[in-house]
Amino acid sequence: MPERVIITGTGIISSIGMNYEENLNSLRKGITGIGKNSHLETIYSDEIPVAEVKSGNRELRALAKVPQKSLFSRTSLLALIAAGEAVERSGIRNEDGLRTGLISASTVGGMDRTEIFFKKFRTEKSQGRIREVISHDVGDHTEAIASAFGIREFVTTISTACSSSANSILLGARLIENGILDRVIAGGSDALTLFTLNGFNSLMILDKRGCMPFDDDRNGLTLGEGAAYLVLESETAVTKTGKKGLCVLTGYGNACDAFHQTASSPEGDGAYMSMDKALGKAGMHPDRIDYINAHGTGTKNNDLSEGKAVERLFKDSLPPLSSTKSYTGHTLGAAGAIEAVFSVMAIEHGCIWPGIRFISKMKELSFEPVTSLTTGTEVRNVMSNSFGFGGNNTSLIFSKC
162 among known catalytic residues: yes
Report the alpha-carbon distance of residue 82 to residue 89 in Å, rounded: 11
Q: Are strands 100-105 and 183-190 parallel, antiparallel or unpaired?
A: parallel
Report the alpha-carbon distance of residue 158 to residue 389 in Å, rounded: 14
**Contact 325/302 with Cβ under 8 angstroms?**
no
Please report, for residues 18, 180, 210, the alpha-carbon distance to residue 79 in angstroms, rounded to integers and kept in the order given.
Answer: 12, 24, 25
Please give the full DSSP string across 8-22, using - where no structure is assigned. Answer: EEEEEEBTTBSSHHH
- From the candidates 141, 211, 247, 295, give the one annotated as an active-site residue: 295
- Nearest Cα neighbor of 285 from 166, 397, 170, 386 is 397
- Nearest Cα neighbor of 318 from 308, 331, 327 is 308
295 among known catalytic residues: yes
- From the candidates 39, 141, 211, 330, give the one annotated as an active-site residue: 330
Please report, for residues 12, 88, 245, 276, the alpha-carbon distance to residue 9 in angstroms, rounded to integers and kept in the order given.
Answer: 11, 8, 8, 27
401 among known catalytic residues: no
How many Cα atoms sit within 13 Å of 96 on the Cβ side?
Answer: 19
Report the alpha-carbon distance of residue 222 to residue 212 in Å, rounded: 9
How many Cα atoms sit within 13 Å of 323 on the Cβ side?
Answer: 30
**Contact 235/98 with Cβ under 8 angstroms?**
no
- From the candidates 39, 162, 211, 351, give the one annotated as an active-site residue: 162
3-state secondary structure of 25: helix
Active site residues: 162, 295, 330
